[in-house]
Amino acid sequence: MKSSDEQYRPPPGPVNSAANAPGASSGDDAQFAFVRSLERGLAVIKSFGEGRSEQTIAEVAERIGVDRSTARRFLLTLAKLGYVEQDGRDFRLSPQTLQLGYAYLSSLPWWRSAQRELNRLRDRIGQNCAVGVLDEHQVVYVAYASAARFPVMNRSVGMQLPAISTAIGRLLLAHMEESRLLAILQNISLERLTPYTLTDRGELLKNLHAIRAEDFALVDQELELGLQSIGVPIRNRGGDVVAAVSISLVGGQFDRPAIIKKYLSELREASAEITNTLPF
């Protein structure tokens, strides 16, 4: 009998595996470079989230696709390292896992200045403001400023949202190299989140081309009913798009011309201020 480690096979074509990293070797060397235990340990951590703050061994095993004994070993190892806490049959992440996310944020040379600029933008316009980057098919917030009058938004740094249905995500997709964009559109899951969500790939491609030409994105109730968002790209000093900044409007009370007139120049000013803080 092989051990559960030997029986395990990683999913086909892992996007972020060492085997696919730039400069990685091919063939047997590339396969050797892929550390399966590390992949599963990270999968255990990622299995927790909103609505899954506590899980049993069986729940973790089912979520990441391994047997219970394997899930148990990984949970106990993570508990020993301080990343997981145990309460009877239930496991939950410990505050130490925040160090993983903070390590990424602190590696961004412009993160703190982006947060300061978001706070100023929020104070000027009284709306929720976010800066996000692209992680495969998701947008991840790396800075966020919440307007006190809209606490129901339930957004924060680290929040992940579907890229294709957000202003930030569409901006980052629109400014990709065309071949990469087409590959993503071919493989991305297009879920109809509201009656207004664009799910036709041809229409989405036209929309992304328009966003690239206009250099801003406006998404009207495609993620949530009553939620509108408008965003602009953030460029480094060389002109490359590295992130995007957006504001969210709750209530769906504005039409497109009114949103553009009231908020676009404010967003572009904030984006330029963030660019000025970048080291390159």
What's the whole-model pTM score? Answer: 0.69
Residues 94 and 190 in one domain: no
Determine the Cα–Cα distance for residues 275 and 277; give it in Å rounded to an integer.
5
Q: Of the residues 68, 98, 128, which one is the last residue of a structural domain?
A: 98
Is 22's pLDDT higher than 50?
no
User: Would 32 be classed as within a structural domain?
Assistant: yes
Residues 92 and 227 in one domain: no
pLDDT given at position 150: 52
Residues 180 and 203 in one domain: yes
Q: Of the residues 98, 124, 157, which one is the last residue of a structural domain?
A: 98
Residues 127 and 262 in one domain: yes
Overall domain count for the chain: 2
- What confidence tens digit (pLDDT) does each residue in 159-212 have? 889 999 999 999 999 999 999 999 999 888 888 999 999 999 999 999 999 999
Residues 199 and 117 in one domain: yes
Tell me which residue of 219, 244, 91 sits closest to 165, measured CA to CA: 219
User: Would 103 be classed as within a structural domain?
Assistant: no
- What confidence tens digit (pLDDT) does each residue in 128-153 have? 999 999 988 889 898 999 886 554 45
User: Would 161 be classed as within a structural domain?
Assistant: yes
Q: Of the residues 63, 98, 133, which one is the last residue of a structural domain?
A: 98
- What confidence tens digit (pLDDT) does each residue in 93-123 have? 888 877 777 776 667 767 788 889 999 999 9
Confidence of residue 157 (pLDDT cuts 50, 70, 90): confident
Residues 195 and 170 in one domain: yes
Mean pLDDT computed over 122-126 = 93
48/260: higher pLDDT = 260
52/234: higher pLDDT = 234
What letter would DSSP give residue 227? E
Look up the domain containing 233 and give its range.
Answer: 108-277
Residues 6+ apart with CB under 8 A from 132: 139, 140, 141, 142, 161, 166, 168, 169, 172, 243, 244, 246
pLDDT given at position 20: 38
Evaluated on CA atoms 172, 178, 180, 186, the torsion sign reads positive
DSSP string, 171-198: HHHHTS-HHHHHHHHHHS-----STT--
User: Would 140 be classed as within a structural domain?
Assistant: yes
Contacts 24+ apart (CB under 8 A), 78-83: 78/41, 78/44, 78/45, 83/45
Is 233's pLDDT higher than 80?
yes
**Cβ pair 31, 75 in contact under 8 A:** no
Is 18's pLDDT higher than 60?
no
Tell me which residue of 161, 233, 231, 172 sits closest to 197, measured CA to CA: 161
Residues 173 and 89 in one domain: no
**Cβ pair 76, 51 in contact under 8 A:** no
Residues 34 and 114 in one domain: no
Residue 238: CATH number of its domain:
3.30.450.40
| HSE-CB for 228 with a 13 A CA cutoff | 16
Residues 124 and 159 in one domain: yes
Run of H or E including 10: none
Separation of first and last alpha carbons in the chain: 55
pLDDT given at position 206: 96
Confidence of residue 220 (pLDDT cuts 50, 70, 90): very high
pLDDT given at position 212: 96
Residues 175 and 243 in one domain: yes
Residues 198 and 126 in one domain: yes
Residue 83: CATH number of its domain:
1.10.10.10
User: Would 27 be classed as within a structural domain?
Assistant: yes
- What confidence tens digit (pLDDT) does each residue in 28-87 have? 455 556 677 888 888 888 888 777 889 999 999 999 999 999 999 999 989 988 889 998
Residues 240 and 153 in one domain: yes
**Cβ pair 229, 167 in contact under 8 A:** yes
